[in-house]
Amino acid sequence: MKIHINRKVARFFSAALLASSLTACDDFLNIVPLNDIVLENYWTEENDVTSVVNACYSQLCSGDCLKRMAVWGELRSDNLVAGGGAPIDLSRIAAENLLETNGYAKWDAFYQCINRCNTVIHYAPSVQQIDPNYTESELRANIAEVTALRALCYFYLIRTFRDVPYVTEPSIDDGQNYRVPPSSFEEVLGHLIADLEAVKGDAVSSYIEPTYGANPVDNVNRITRNAIYALLADMYLWQGEYQKCIDYCDMIIKSKQDEYEEILLEQSSPDIELYGVFPLISEGPRNVVTAGEAYNQIFGTGNSFESIFELSFLDGTTQRENLAVKELYASTPSENTVNAGQLATPSYLTSEIASGTNDYFDPTDNRVFENIERDGNTGIRKYVYDDVSFRNNNGTVANGSFETRGSNTANWIVYRLTDVMLMKAEAEVQLAGIDAGNQERHFRSAWDCVIAVWKRANSERTGPDTLEYAKYGDSKLNMENLVLDERQRELMFEGKRWFDLVRLCRRDGSNTRMVDKVIGKFEQNTSALRIRLASPDALYYPYHEDELRANPNLVQNPVYENESITTTE
């Protein structure tokens, strides 16, 4: 995509107008010739709005968006290396050899989604004036929904590129000028927060029959009020507004606690239980040593109790492959084995687990077996397996069964409860550095979040904790590292880790801690890599050469300046 997106995106958007599905990322687009649709004559009833709203979700489910969510959020971190058969673009990113020609420096897939969202915001109000069945509250809910999707797209863009063109008008007129100068990270983030604050009260709390189906888990496949709260919490964390982050995290946590209380009224022995005050899916029933149930519900079946927003690829009889999982994580999955995809895991993540000397995972931590293939290769298990069952025998698997899907239809999780809990923990630690008189209270609040996540993963319910507060609660630095490490363990391969490290660097005003972590996955040229990664500019991707040529307002990130790239009118 060029930022002067009018003709190309208008043509693409016209095809998208016939999109028709409600929850799954499939059957959204029926491509038709441009001259079969007159744009102004399309927006006449509520179904027209619904179709294009669904086309926004469809675009996020596309391989171009999904693979970037994973690659932008993970590959440059200490979680991943290039796997066997990785294409050159991925190999270069993994080697910190980013160029303006790298395909993953293209952002058009996200701007296509942004344009669809802008188009709904532009046209939906006129539909509400025409269609008496399309109520004012439904209009506001749709506007809130696409505003959040647009904000999510821009949030990915600024965390990846830093400064990006910020466009809120749809591409519907060839006379419009879309050669827009980039807005700064801070400016775009401020706009996104203001937009979400303005619409949060209009968002749907839950979708019910007859519009979206009776199954309550369908609620997590569309933007809800909780999804907007999660976005706001995340954005405030990046903005350094830590109390606001905590406030939104608490709203989500309270809603899950209320939901848990309702479940208790219906089920005497639910598979959800309290870890401290936090309701989480247990790894296995009480008095049973087998683990894997939490993984199965969250990543295997999907749409779990803990989910806040995830992209769905399977709905009834329709399905569509998750190309990020299929191509990046597991190329040819089959029962009980995973052949590594284009990305792999560095061996130090799982070395010496049983001996208890691994820096990341304790021998009791079930996530090491749920996340990573350890039987002779370095494949990724998360999202690939749909059913796991094993006994963690002090760092080794006993009686293990790991079954993959027949096809790669795993949902992609954008936000879930433990992510929110650990956002709160991070914000509490930062507040402890500001509110010195209440440091212990903030540390304890952060600890409560971390220990709940850790206990679930280590199948601990009662008894003394292997993870001890006294080892961390003596300093802000130790607490920061605790939260950062727990986010790595819990959210590994979910498109979070590199962004967590970028946020750390921005807050520190230095890349040192990030470099110390990332450099461990490299076996050579580490001195040169330290120098290359030391600059604040190195945290972000280059603008692709196509965008530089299309938009003369873009100025290349200094780290990637290349005199052979020129801009033209």
Whether 342 has a pLDDT exceeding 70, the answer reads yes
Confidence of residue 11 (pLDDT cuts 50, 70, 90): very low
Please tell me whether residues 216 and 304 are part of one structural domain: no
Over residues 460-507, the pLDDT tens digits come to 876 566 789 999 999 999 999 999 999 999 999 999 999 999 999 999
Over residues 241-273, the pLDDT tens digits come to 999 999 999 999 999 999 999 888 887 778 999
Please tell me whether residues 154 and 14 are part of one structural domain: yes
Whether 518 has a pLDDT exceeding 70, the answer reads yes
Over residues 363-411, the pLDDT tens digits come to 999 999 999 876 555 789 899 998 999 999 888 888 888 888 777 889 9
DSSP string covering 325-341, please? IIIIIBSS-BTTB--B-
For residue 416, give every residue at least 6 positions away whose Cβ sits within 8 Å of its Cβ, in sequence order, or none.
298, 304, 306, 307, 308, 310
Please tell me whether residues 214 and 300 are part of one structural domain: no
Whether 566 has a pLDDT exceeding 80, the answer reads no
What pLDDT is stored for residue 47 in this prediction? 95
What pLDDT is stored for residue 63 in this prediction? 95
Structural domain total, the chain? 2
- Residue 293: domain span: 261-414
Whether 35 has a pLDDT exceeding 60, the answer reads no
Asked whether residue 85 is domain-assigned, the answer is yes
pTM above 0.75, yes or no: yes
Asked whether residue 512 is domain-assigned, the answer is no
Please tell me whether residues 401 and 325 are part of one structural domain: yes
More confident residue, 218 or 109: 109
Structure tokens at 88: 């050159």
Q: What is the mean pLDDT of the chain?
A: 86
Please tell me whether residues 67 and 156 are part of one structural domain: yes
User: What are the distances in angstroms from CA 41 to CA 52, 131, 253?
Assistant: 14, 13, 44
Please tell me whether residues 291 and 213 are part of one structural domain: no
Asked whether residue 187 is domain-assigned, the answer is yes
Over residues 83-99, the pLDDT tens digits come to 888 999 999 999 999 99
Structure tokens at 337: 């084995």
What pLDDT is stored for residue 540 in this prediction? 98
User: What are the distances in angstroms from CA 268 to CA 37, 264, 414?
Assistant: 55, 6, 31
Please tell me whether residues 15 and 151 are part of one structural domain: yes
What pLDDT is stored for residue 29 in this prediction? 30
What pLDDT is stored for residue 207 in this prediction? 84
Whether 567 has a pLDDT exceeding 90, the answer reads no
What share of the chain in percent tops pLDDT 90?
69
Over residues 148-189, the pLDDT tens digits come to 999 999 999 999 999 999 999 998 754 456 689 999 999 999
Please tell me whether residues 50 and 179 are part of one structural domain: yes
Quick one: average pLDDT of 223-242? 98
Asked whether residue 533 is domain-assigned, the answer is no
Q: DSSP letter for 559, please.
A: G
